[in-house]
Structure 1
Amino acid sequence: MRVTLVVGMHRSARRHTVDALLAESDGSVVVHHDMSEIGEGTVRRLTRDGTGAVDEHEGDLVHACASCTVREDLIPFLLRTAGEGAHDLCVVEAWDGVEPRLIAESIADEEALHLTAVIAAVRSEDLLDDLYCHDLLEDRGLDIAQDDERSVTEVLSRQVEYASAITVHGADAEHGTDGIRALLEQLNPAAAVIGAGSVLAGFTRGTFDTEAAHARSNPAWAWYGDRADGRVRTVTWTRTRPLHPERFAEALEGVVSLGSRGRGRFWLAGRPDDLLVWESYGDLLMVEHGGPWLAALPEAALELVPEARRVRARLDWNPEIGDRRQHLAFTGVDMEVDELIGLLDSCLVTDEESGQEFLTDPFAEFSER
């Protein structure tokens, strides 16, 4: 059975997209898990077809979260539906605060299911506000697990950046639909960005490659390029000199204030083995340990590294430093690019500082555990 996944923080846009898919595909069915009461351990599964509601099932989950909903209810439902043979296509409409990767990979792992596309639906009037806001999912009642501390902009960005297609609904008077389209195309150059009313049936006949989606959206080894479309710009900062730990830590607030969406990897002086991952959403910054640089691994260990990362490392390879480098991309509207680049460059180790020992490391908590 073919399965098309639709995600989106903006409920009305997501519903319009699902309705369009349902109308264009005879014999299709929609399944949606309402997680508004997941905090009480209850999730309602709603199914409908072209004639209206088909079934409503309320389930009690022992460990209430999005991942257990997928594991304990969605995948078994899809497999039963596929086995019954009554529907050739099932459209999975995800809950507002759900990120697509877990669902997509779970569907793709099943031989009886064929994942055709991941579609992110956005409402143009709300997109910029939500990409720049400080709201947590909890503030909007959209959290889907205990201690869910994710932000609205974090989840929305991941929905947009993982998808193979993005449907845009509404019209933005201040920035214009062209600006919204440019921003989405730069956040996810691999996605088809289409307007409301476009024919979507083609997306129910393709194949979604989960490995490729993970590779292009994983900042530990993804490649980013420069692009400018009107007021929207993506600038990629790539250098082959390490960053001074203290100077970079002091500059972080300024860096995140100048770039709306940042992603990539960076190399600190005094940490020759550690690849650190950068993800920023507005002025929210997350730094994680991304494992070792491949140049720090013994030859035998390289076979255990994902192929996408090995390919990227070979393209970046330097005879002296291997794949170690700075590779940070920032996408935003009306960014002060020269100021951003100048600030980042000021954090690089100078010739005089090269080779010295760095006793103070503000990033020590991100050492590999």
Structure 2
Amino acid sequence: MTQHDRVPLTLIGGLSPTANTRLTDTLRAGDPGTAVVHHDLRHIGSGVVRRRLQLGHRDQLTALELAHGCVSCTLREDLLPLLRRLGRMPEVRRILVRLDPAMEPEPVSWALHHVLVGDRPVLADLRIEAVYSALDHASWFEAATGEDTLAECGLQASAEDERTLAQVALAQVEFADVLVLDGVATDGWSAARTAAVLDRVAPTAPRVELAGADGSTLRAAVPAEARRGELTDQHGALLRGQPPLHTDCGICLFTFTARRPFHPQRLHAAIDVLLDGVVRTRGRAWVASQPDVAFWIESAGGGLGIGHAGGWLAAAEGPEWLEVSPERRTLAALRWDPAFGDRAQELVIVAHQAIPEEIEAALHGALLTDEELAAGEQAWLRYPDPFGSWHEEPCADNELAPGRHDAGAQTGKDDTL
């Protein structure tokens, strides 16, 4: 089956259920061959997910009882098999997946690419045509720069979900091919600040006003070079497109780079500087006490996450050159250090109320001193490490990985498919 022959699949995300619904209805209008799938996660803490399937004149609601109430189980046990079945139905010409407000599109795309349904992933039969993010003009900026958690807003995807609205809001727009704005901004200043943030975190995504737009307009807005579900290479370029580097409405973008490692304790003490007045931080970090592993740091609003992004190419157990993307090989070759290889600090920071010079000073203060650097790796390994050993919960809701857990039992009557 060629890429052209596969049924097109569109992912629709966003924090606002109203904007999501309006966008989905606009994309579906007038096409009885478009199937719409939506999983409502509001009762997932009780192990129940409500799935709505629309196709032609059918509008079917199904209550699903999951053995383990989480987003990963919802994807593996129901959404992915359902998409596989829909893709084989002759009357289905297009599929729209309206994501729950708590869902980020990139983990869903990862599952579409990698999780097997039967003997192959869903994208063996389907293709991602576009990823849209619907934004409410009146509320998006406050969500993206605030400290409210999903739990505080009644949107958490599980009892263990500690993400902030800002983390989800920014992840949704950064992965989108098109941003669709709905409603009216509270005032001109709010609209200008929203535009300034979007210019810097999603510079390649066109913005379309939903009012007056139809399905053809929205589909035509997808750029030819859109990523269409392409997964993020955590060792690739951190800036997509050409975001503006000047300050606008108090919003500014700047980078922090260094060719020496962080001291683990000083980094741990300094890292709060990425939370106060910072809209977004993304990038790689090199920590002296774990010299073979690249750290991935993301912050948004009042939430911050730190994880592993795999080994450096220079590490003894790191990936081979031919195993990584051409982009990563090129970037590594350009910055290769005779002693430390591709190890480096690279963070992109979008600030709102913070002072860039203060952030840079705090991060520079967390780097090894000349004396510490000269002591060498054996001394670094003895540093107390507050980041500790890495542990993954068996069912993390905001991240999917192969083999995280086995699919459990599921019940839910479905008379159509």
Listed as ranges, the matches of 1:29-108 within 5 Å are 29-48=35-54, 54-108=59-113
Distance 1:99 1:300, change over 3 A: closer
Q: Partner of 1:190 in structure 2?
A: 204
Per-residue Cα deviation, 1:118-164 (whole angstroms, up to 9, x for no partner): 11111122122212333332233322234223222222222122222
| Structure of greater relative contact order (alpha carbons < 8 Å, 6+ residues apart) | 2
- State the secondary structure of the residue aligned to 2:139: helix
Distance 1:250 1:16, change over 3 A: same
- Please, which of 133, 136, 143 is the counterpart of residue 146 of structure 2? 133
Per-residue Cα deviation, 1:240-269 (whole angstroms, up to 9, x for no partner): 122233333332223432522111111233
- Please, which of 335, 340, 345 is the counterpart of residue 321 of structure 1? 340
**CA–CA distance in 2 between the matches of 1:185 and 1:82?**
36
- State the secondary structure of the residue aligned to 2:100: coil
Q: Partner of 2:182 in structure 1?
A: 169
- Please, which of 211, 230, 238 is the counterpart of residue 223 of structure 1? 238
Q: Partner of 1:264 in structure 2?
A: 283
Q: Partner of 2:219 in structure 1?
A: 201
Q: Does 1:342 align with 2:361?
A: yes
Q: Partner of 1:123 in structure 2?
A: 136
Asked if 2 retains the 8 angstrom alpha-carbon contact of 1:262 and 1:279, the reply is yes
Asked if 1 retains the 8 angstrom alpha-carbon contact of 2:129 and 2:228, the reply is no
- Please, which of 7, 11, 18 is the counterpart of residue 5 of structure 1? 11
**CA–CA distance in 2 between the matches of 1:187 and 1:204?**
17
Listed as ranges, the matches of 1:140-159 within 5 Å are 140-159=153-172
Aligned AA for 1:119?
Answer: Y
| Greater fraction helix | 1
Per-residue Cα deviation, 1:7-63 (whole angstroms, up to 9, x for no partner): 111111211211221126563232211222222222222123576x62222222222
Q: TM-score, normalised by structure 2?
A: 0.77
Bigger mean CA deviation after superposition, 187-196 or 157-166 = 187-196
Distance 1:367 1:49, change over 3 A: closer
Asked if 1 retains the 8 angstrom alpha-carbon contact of 2:277 and 2:352, the reply is no
Aligned AA for 2:49?
Answer: V
How many angstroms does 1:296 deviate by? 1.4
Aligned AA for 2:238?
Answer: W
Unpaired runs of at least 5, structure 1: none
**CA–CA distance in 2 between the matches of 1:211 and 1:34?**
22
Aligned AA for 2:155?
Answer: L
- State the secondary structure of the residue aligned to 2:246: strand
**CA–CA distance in 2 between the matches of 1:207 and 1:89?**
21
- State the secondary structure of the residue aligned to 1:60: strand
**CA–CA distance in 2 between the matches of 1:325 and 1:56?**
51
Per-residue Cα deviation, 1:283-316 (whole angstroms, up to 9, x for no partner): 3332223332211136874444455543432333
How many angstroms does 1:362 deviate by? 3.7
- Please, which of 20, 28, 33 is the counterpart of residue 27 of structure 1? 33
Aligned AA for 1:213?
Answer: L
**CA–CA distance in 2 between the matches of 1:106 and 1:298?**
27
Per-residue Cα deviation, 1:192-221 (whole angstroms, up to 9, x for no partner): 232223421326897975674322xx3x54
Asked if 2 retains the 8 angstrom alpha-carbon contact of 1:97 and 1:142, the reply is yes
Q: Does 1:246 align with 2:265?
A: yes
Q: TM-score, normalised by structure 1?
A: 0.86
Unpaired runs of at least 5, structure 2: 1-6, 114-120, 393-417
Aligned AA for 1:138?
Answer: A
**CA–CA distance in 2 between the matches of 1:345 and 1:205?**
39
How many angstroms does 1:5 deviate by? 0.8
Asked if 1 retains the 8 angstrom alpha-carbon contact of 2:149 and 2:164, the reply is yes
Asked if 1 retains the 8 angstrom alpha-carbon contact of 2:134 and 2:179, the reply is yes
Aligned AA for 1:242?
Answer: P
**CA–CA distance in 2 between the matches of 1:167 and 1:106?**
24
Asked if 2 retains the 8 angstrom alpha-carbon contact of 1:293 and 1:324, the reply is yes
Aligned residues: 365
Q: Partner of 1:278 in structure 2?
A: 297
Asked if 1 retains the 8 angstrom alpha-carbon contact of 2:177 and 2:222, the reply is no
